[in-house]
Chains A and B, each alone.
Chain A
Amino acid sequence: MENKSIIEFRNVTFQYNSQLEPTLKNINLNIKSGEKVLIVGSSGSGKSTLGNLINGIIPRNVKGSLQGDILIDGKNIQSMSLFDLSLKVGTLLQNSNDQFVGLTVAEDIAFGMENDCVNNAEMKTKVNQWADYLDIKNLLQQAPNQLSGGQKQRTGLAGIMVDEAPILLLDEPLAALDPAAGFSSIKLVDDIHQKLHNTVLIIEHRIEEVLNQSVDKVILMNDGEIVGIFKPDNLLKENILQKYGLRNPLYLDLLKSAGVDIQKLEHIASASLVNGNGMLPKLQLANQQRIPNAIKNDQNPILKIQHLNFSYNQKTIFKNLNLSVNHGDMLALVGKNGVGKSTLSKLIAGFIKPHSGSICLNGDSLDGVTIKERADKIGYIMQDPDKMISKVMIKDEIALGLQLRGFDADYIDQKVTEVLKVCHLYEFRNWPISALSYGQKKRLTIASILVLDPQLLILDEPTAGQDYYHYTEIMQFLQDLNQKHHITMIFVTHDMYLMTEYANRAVVLGNYGILKDDYPEAILDDDEVVLAAHLKSTSISTLARRFNLSADRLTHYLISKESNNKHE
């Protein structure tokens, strides 16, 4: 029996009033009731616009011109209000903290029902029912700032599930989660889909994680158009993701670089099932890759932290933490949400003070050195560039730190020009900052710190929420700074790719201190640490475990192959 179609786009073109060209061009689409669909595309591909047309934000709240017809559950959206539509499409927004509008979990789940004037008894029943289903019943009285990202997302889900809308739309559900939480989030959505047979749309650029669970089809978007609608297996065999600014699943990259013909593979969309003749021998060959020796600490580390103790609100965060960072390190700081990654960064940057213990830079104690003086040597870059920018023009923003330190105009000019060039911003030097893209703004905030000639940079989640194209752009820039300009870096990250691909060492934080300090692949090979730190082993580990190979060696094999390719 053929299911009826629940979302239909007929020749839909949409153009924002503020844009010169249409963001969506002649889209035709038909999604059947009960399907689970993944919509992928790089930033600017139009995938979010597509989502906003389905839930009605466009054209109700965002102005623009819409041509063609959109039918949701057989009705044209033009004849429905945003409120009617919200009963058909439940939307989980990308930022589950901003979606959380109640003072507690229970109130937030009830928010939609309150607006529908549902009586109290019924609200309480439903809140309990869905909180139970989503495993957050013990959190009902908690305020949002006491919850983890995953718990906030579950609250958000409960808040839309109470509507029992036939369509569930998730906008980049993985963006704000640590790897383990992301994994369980995708699994949860799959459970919901299995049980309720609703229509599920997931908008994401992190394909590998979503494909951990089955999906019926994948819509690939680029530049406002649908490139194609694929079965997951076929999409991966097409081998076109990279061309559209997206990342291939890691295990496939490995198989490819090991010389496996992926066209002949079976179950290609799953690292735990993929197979085909000739795969294993080639992997075994790759498994002979040599691995580096464990990290050795320099005699003269750039940063040395000794016997550090810190607690916050009577909760011990660090107990006797010791860490030394070598000159030239690209160090990834990882661990589950709330374990103290940001706290450690802020302690190093001097934003907060340790209760006891010492932090030394190049052998000199940083005790009593002010935030401003410390910033001459240690630069701190926040995750969101908008939270660091306070000027209108690019040049002014970069010059700011030097001006506030009283340097003369000639020196400032010369230094700013130099940094503009290093950061590939020279051609934009006379632009207002508001005209820059996200990646450019990120470089600008780095530039405005680099101008002070720091020896050590601390970056808080430098690539959070970025697609593969922008991720690569930012990380290669950082790698350049590290290699050509000899700046030591510490970055806080949740991205296991980033850690293995760009860091030479990783420090895993656990309760009270460091769980493990080693090169990245060794960390992902340590199941205990992975579990304790809410990390998620990569798909290479999944593959390696199946055939009793070493994930460590295989990952090194892939990275060495890829870096060879880059240099060719």
Chain B
Amino acid sequence: MNKKKLSVQSVVAIGIGTAILFLLKRWVSIPIGIPNTNLDTSYGFLGFIAVLFGPAVGFCVGFLGHSINDFTQFGTPWWTWVFTTGLVGMAMGFLKKYIQPDEGKISTRKLVFYNIYQVIINIIAWVLIAPTGDVLIYSEPANKVYLQGIVSAFTNSLSTGVIGTILLVIYASTKVQKGSLKKE
């Protein structure tokens, strides 16, 4: 691990990002037609902010935002899932160098890669890491937690995919240079 310090901008990005992630997790979920299953919009935002600011910010935003949500909603965080959210943020953050959202328009190829990558990450995170943690730490029955994991992998990758992609495309489009435009 390189012990590079967080830049001031990253510190603020964590603060504001956490605030947004918390609000989305708490208030903005979308029913998707399956009973008791909602699409958690915060994962779309997490994918976006992680690609913008990198793995460290991604991890912290995911971890902090999810903890604050659990604290306010359930009194105490469900640590295995909180930690996994952090990992997803970190993993998505590794795409920053490849996608380079600040350089303007993102090519379709990059967007396709973003989506394949995020599906893989979400599967590893929610089908493998989070439920295994539940089995090891909380001794919950395996079939229950793995099923929960599969459902989450599905909804979270839907969120990271659709919402994340829309945010990235619109963000990159705000970086277009003015020189190329003519009045008609």
**Which residue numbers of A lie inside 8 Å of B, CB to CB?**
18, 20, 390-392, 427-435
Contacts and interface: CB of A to CB of B under 8 A. Distances in A.
B36 interface: no
A428 B183 contact: yes
B183 A435 contact: no
Contact of A434 (B169, B176, B179, B184): B176
A429 B175 CA distance: 18
A434 B173 contact: yes
Contact of B177 (A18, A428, A429, A430): A18
Contact of A392 (B173, B177, B178): B173
Contacts of B175: 434
B14 to A, nearest CB: 13
Interface string B162-173: 000000011001
Contact of B181 (A20, A391, A392, A431): A431
Given A20-B179, A435-B178, A392 B184 contact: no
Nearest to A82: B8
B174 interface: yes
Contacts of A433: 174
Nearest to A437: B178
A432 B170 CA distance: 10
Nearest to A427: B183
Contacts of B177: 18
Contacts of A392: 169-170, 173
Contacts of A20: 179
A434 B183 contact: no
Contacts, number: 24
Contacts of B181: 431, 435
Contact of B174 (A430, A431, A434): A434
A430 B173 contact: no
A20 B177 CA distance: 11
Given A20-B179, A435-B178, A427 B173 contact: no
Contacts of B174: 432-434
Interface in B125-184: 169-170, 173-179, 181, 183-184
A434 B169 CA distance: 13
A243 B80 CA distance: 65
A225 B173 CA distance: 32
Contacts of B170: 390-392
4 cross-chain pairs, A with B, having the tightest CB-CB distances, nearest first: A427-B183, A434-B174, A392-B173, A435-B178
Contacts of B176: 432, 434-435
Contacts of A429: 184
A430 B178 contact: no
A435 B176 CA distance: 7
A427 B178 contact: no
Contacts of B169: 392
Contacts of B173: 392, 432, 434
A20 B176 CA distance: 14
Most A Cβ at <10 Å: residue of B173, B175, B178, B183: B178
A398 to B, nearest CB: 16
A429 B173 CA distance: 16
B179 A430 contact: no
Most B Cβ at <10 Å: residue of A390, A430, A434: A434
Given A391-B170, A434-B176, 4 more contacts: A20-B179, A390-B170, A429-B184, A434-B174
Interface in B80-96: none
